[in-house]
Structure 1
Amino acid sequence: MYNKKYQLLNVLATIFVAFVVLLAILNFFSEPNRKSIFGYRGYTVISGSMVPALQIGDYVILKEEPFQQLKEEDIITFKNDRIIVTHRVVHLTSKNQLITRGDANAVDDLLEVTDQEYIGKVQWRIPFLGYFMILMQNPLFFSVSLALIAIRFVFLWIIKI
């Protein structure tokens, strides 16, 4: 019985470590002015402008699809001044620009999106993961997570002795 509990705890700890490391890497490369990781970026949804498709606290993973391949109904992320926005493409203009709108909004966005503002197309939505990402910005929670990871590695090292 003890061995099965140990094995389960071992698997869960490994999954937690891999999960935190993967998210840390993805977030590091999600800065719009930084190169992405294999064409992917991740962002937390912090507004309700895309309800019901995206909820506050969702985490979206984007792929850098070519701007010319975007079409109406695609959900994209783009820079609007210093703000990162995720909205749906509602129209393509003749000037190779995109008109976007949040699903919960009654009017289109004022600025048209060009290939310079475009960041990527939403590929996946992970419900509630954004709350974890916001929590990771808390120094206490981040420190506890790092401590758990360190304990995991020490525990693995002790087992091998």
Structure 2
Amino acid sequence: MLNNVRQSLRSIRLRGAATQFIGLGIIVSMALIMWQLLVLVTGSKYPVVVVVSGSMEPGIQRGDVLFLITVRNRPIRSGDIVVFKIEGKDIPIVHRVIKVHRQHDSNTFSLLTKGDANLWDDSDGIYADGQLWLEDHHIIGRVIGYLPYFGWATIIMGEKPLIKYLLLGGLSLLAVASH
């Protein structure tokens, strides 16, 4: 009789753990599905980015979350804010377009950008050595909206890994303790 009770309790614990594991899997799956839907809707490989520097202040602050759309929908104009990636640099850059050169015989373009808080345009130290313009293949997307301050958690966890590990440990303890 006592063994039957123990087996029943173990079975309940295993079912509870399995339920939590499946619930976590569903949450992760939903997050991935939402991300892929954003990629489809915006046409951008990276539909959401976090601003990690102050080069666009005061308009766009460090820690803001930016929403991007592909540049194919509408030509880029001077004054647009774009996110671009330079070969050899890990982090995408968010800056304003200050000049656009279009090729008349094709759909290609060249851009010159500048951070709002910077004194000089990006050909002076931001672009790769010898690069004077951005080409269309450098552009990740055009900014269409933002959420102020929502990216600070990402910045803090990137700059202070200890906080990331404490948060993950705390969430793990919470999950274990909830049984």
- What SS does structure 1 have at the residue aligned with 2:39? coil
Partners in 1 of 2:136 and 2:98 — Cα distance?
16
Partners in 2 of 1:23 and 1:130 — Cα distance?
20
Residues 1:52 and 2:58 aligned together: yes
Rate the CA distance shift 1:130–1:147 in 2: closer, same or farther, 3 A: farther
Matches within 5 A, 1:109-124: 109-110=122-123, 111-124=132-145
Rate the CA distance shift 1:52–1:145 in 2: closer, same or farther, 3 A: farther
Post-superposition offset of 1:57:
1.1
Partner residue of 2:95 out of 83, 87, 92:
87
Matches within 5 A, 1:30-41: 36-39=39-42, 40=44, 41=47
Unaligned runs of 5+ in 1: 1-16, 30-34, 156-161
Rate the CA distance shift 1:130–1:116 in 2: closer, same or farther, 3 A: same
Q: In the alignment, what sits opposite 1:131?
A: 152
Partner deviation per Cα, 1:72-114 (whole Å, 9 max, x = no partner): 1100001012231110011112442011100011111114111
* 2:63–2:149 CA contact under 8 A, matched in 1: yes
Q: In the alignment, what sits opposite 1:104?
A: 117
Partners in 2 of 1:28 and 1:77 — Cα distance?
18
State the TM-score, normalizing by the size of structure 1. 0.64
Rate the CA distance shift 1:67–1:78 in 2: closer, same or farther, 3 A: farther
Please tell me the root mean square deviation across aligned C-alpha atoms, in Å: 3.5
**What is the percent sequence identity of the aligned residues?**
31
Partners in 1 of 2:117 and 2:58 — Cα distance?
7
Larger Rg: 2
- What SS does structure 1 have at the residue aligned with 2:136? coil
Letter in 2 for 1:38: V
Rate the CA distance shift 1:108–1:67 in 2: closer, same or farther, 3 A: farther
* 2:52–2:155 CA contact under 8 A, matched in 1: no
Partners in 2 of 1:136 and 1:26 — Cα distance?
24
State the TM-score, normalizing by the size of structure 2. 0.58
